[in-house]
Amino acid sequence: MSDLALDEDGNPHFNTKNNLASMPTKYIGEFYNGCVDPCDMLSGPCACGAWHHQEEWPNKLQLEVFGSISHKPTICKRKPKKETDSENK
């Protein structure tokens, strides 16, 4: 558990009791889901209006926040805004 990303107060972003996970501050503004509000949750209700799940996120981010990579199938694998912008040029 000590290797997981921590928030500003030193608490892990992933709450194992309710399976909610907040977006680490350094990634706020990197992921969007069809609206102007950036994603602020990795698992659970998000500011973008979606309910996110662990398997949607890049493996690096999953390891950092959840400590493991989900092997559940997903219809999408999110990319940071920078990667998406460079692909559209």
Domain residue spans in the chain? 14-82
CB atoms within 10 A of CB 80: 16
Q: pLDDT by residue for the chain (89 residues), tens digit each?
A: 456 677 777 777 888 888 899 999 889 999 998 789 999 999 999 999 999 999 999 999 999 999 999 999 887 788 887 765 666 55
Q: Which residue has the tokens 């503004």?
A: 29
pTM of the model: 0.77
